[in-house]
Structure 1
Amino acid sequence: MSEITPDLVRHLGVLARIQLSDEEVERLTGQLDVIVDNIAKVSEVATPDVAATSHPIALENIFRDDVVDGQLTRDQVLQNAPDAADGRFRVTAILGEEQ
C-alpha cells in the first residue's frame, strides 16, 4: 500500500490552489492511492533490457517535394478580403496607438 494520506491530499490541493471539500479529500485519497500502487506494479515489471517507447508503432514522416504551381495575383488574393488598402490586408490595430 502506498502512503497517500488525507493530509497529503490536502497539501497537494493547497499547492495546486484547489479548494477541496472533506468528501473530495476522502475520494481523492483512495483514487490517488490506487494510481500510485498501479504505477509501482508497472515499475516492478519494467526491465532495463526493454527500450522505452513513446509510441507502439514506428512513425515516419512522409514528405513531398514542394512544387511551385500557379500563383495568385495580388488582386486575386485581396478580392475576398473584408478590408484592403494599398495592396495589403487591412486589420484592426491590436497594440494600441503607441506603435
Structure 2
Amino acid sequence: MKVIYDFLSQKVDVYDACLAPELIDQFVEVVTAIADYSYRWKLNTGYKKSKEERTDLMAVSEKPILTFTINFETAKRYRESNKMPHQFRRAAWTDLTVEVYL
C-alpha cells in the first residue's frame, strides 16, 4: 500500500488533475463504465485476488481513493501528444468523471 501511495503522490498533479501515463500503465487493472461519462478504475496492488475477493465496481461500499475529471482541454492534450486524430469538438464534449479504487 505504501508503494501505491508514494507513487500516487509523485505522479498525480492535484492542481491540474493530471495523471502520469506511468500511473495508468503500472497500476490500472480494470476500467468499468458505471454511467454515461462516469468510470471506475480498479488499481492493481500486486496481489492477485480470487474471484470471490474481487470488488464489484458497480456496487462498491467504500469511498474512492481518488476522483478526477477529464475535461476537453485534457482530452485534447492527450490526443495531440499521442498523435491521435482530432475527431471531437468542444461543443460536443462532456467531461468524464473517474473514481479510483483499490
Tell me if TM exceeds 0.5.
no
**TM-score for both structures, normalised by structure 1:** 0.27
| More strand, by proportion | 2
Q: TM-score, normalised by structure 2?
A: 0.26
Q: Which has the higher contact order (CA 8 A, sep 6+)?
A: 2
